[in-house]
Structure 1
């Protein structure tokens, strides 16, 4: 059965973090974001993929998608025992802020935009949450006043995203209405990590080939 209410957002609906209406038509040229997970033996998965409705990313969609994907893959590679949990979000904020500057979404230095929380306009959430018997499972991030480090056996998501509302006149026109999130389920091993959802395609060529066969 479903582990939680599935999110299906096409076009501008994909820029809403937890879009629940799931009732908008999928149009040619739109990106479709689906956040879903199945429950098995009381444990739930939580996966997000984003792909073009017509089977082909536009150049600007591909640029944004590849940027988010590169970050997601680098974070998964970074996971291992002893890494501070909070550093996942810190690395994400730094990367996403640089990406926003590169896309002309924000102006200023990286540190200025981080200190002012300006990046939250387009990236308003955390990059990870515990995963288990609840889709947002309970777990401490601080122990005895100290940030918690990753330990073997921990399970959580990695889910960077970028969301640019269609009515945001401060954003470059070609970026408006783009919402992208890529999410996998990660378990910390003794020496690194295992991606439990690695079999779900996410590379641009894979996504285009898969949708093209539909």
Structure 2
């Protein structure tokens, strides 16, 4: 979900078997909520060294009444109106104290009379949202490393495809230092259909999300070519 910047199982699945695999993962009782929260927390903690941070918490009501026929109401509970099916979520978003850049989620708490796979889905969706928010907020800050959002392999792939999204004129060359977050964002935005002219309107969230989806397909092919893997029926 994080790679594809989507929480729609059908959209992120390449085939029916992969789609079933995602559903089995969400339904697997051995995949606990605490493990998912720990994954989010560990990712956030990785970026906290030697920083002053601001932690912002808020509680939201997740109303799932429109999906009541597809869920198991006894496993959820009711929300504020004491009628609709749903649960409550209380995430803590951690920001850099100086720049305000989002570093991740330190913790996520959920409560209701019971919790099921829909809550797991919600926590994974939060991870996707934080990554996209990082790209939007950090698109002009060259002090931020691309490592905040992209692993080393992904950065190598971005370096390889940079020339393919650059133009012939200086105005259509990536103006940012290699390895910083704006450098990576510029390439992703170009893949998403952005004009590339910094004098114009900066790329918005839909453009970045579309670019990330394009990049994920390119990255998969790049890894296959690098490893010499071949799919056979």
TM-score, normalization by structure 1: 0.25
Larger strand fraction of residues: 1
> Larger relative contact order (C-alpha < 8 A, sep ≥ 6)?
1
Larger helix fraction of residues: 2
